[in-house]
Amino acid sequence: MSNPWIVDPAAPGADRRLDLEWTDPEGIVRPLWIQVRTELSIGENRRMLKSVTALSQPIPKTRGEDVAPEAKLEWTEYSFARMVAYIIDWSLTHDPEPAHRLAPKRTSYETLRQDVFKLIDEALDEHERAVAAEKKAQSGRPRPAAISA
């Protein structure tokens, strides 16, 4: 039995394979798969979310003016951080041509063609929605009785 207090990457159902297809510039349809986590640990989630916002404090235009901090969304950084958080493995690591192999890491994601990146990014959007729907469906199950001391 796995530890119920942590996200165990080796637990059954801890990851899922998403099969995709990409048509290259020559019109060749190329299969692509990504192995993704079904649940992020708090550390993985916080590292991903850290890239979303940065707080800044604007300088008041007049003395005594109260200026609220502003949140800045960095969607570009978030999309890379999300790939790092979710993707465990992908078919590009196992390409039959050794010169074409790419490890699933940020430096590889940054070199992808824009349409390949978009395909993966949209697959992760769909994956997050599917996982959220599954959790919502499971929340209808009866909860265990509370234990009091």
Per-residue pLDDT tens digits for 29-51: 999 999 999 999 999 998 888 87
**Is 70 exposed, middle or buried, given 0-12, 13-18 or 19+ CB atoms closer than 10 A?**
exposed
SS3 sequence of 1-20:
CCCCCCCCCCCCCCEEEEEE
Query: Is residue 70 classed as helix, strand or coil in its secondary structure?
Result: strand
Q: Which pLDDT does position 78 carry in this prediction? A: 87
* Look-up of token digits 């390949």: 116
Q: What are phi and psi of 7, to 5 degrees?
A: -85, 110
CA dihedral 86, 88, 91, 93 (to 10 degrees): 130
CA distance linking residue 52 with residue 82, whole number of Å:
10
Amino acid residing at 101: R
Q: Which pLDDT does position 59 carry in this prediction? A: 73
Q: Which pLDDT does position 54 carry in this prediction? A: 64
Q: Which pLDDT does position 142 carry in this prediction? A: 58
Q: Which pLDDT does position 136 carry in this prediction? A: 87
Q: Which pLDDT does position 34 carry in this prediction? A: 98
Paired tokens of 131: 């996982």
Q: Which pLDDT does position 61 carry in this prediction? A: 74
Q: Which pLDDT does position 65 carry in this prediction? A: 76
Pick out the chain residues at pLDDT < 70: 1, 53-58, 69-73, 140-149
Q: Which pLDDT does position 144 carry in this prediction? A: 59
**Is 129 exposed, middle or buried, given 0-12, 13-18 or 19+ CB atoms closer than 10 A?**
exposed
CA distance linking residue 119 with residue 126, whole number of Å:
11
Paired tokens of 13: 């159902």
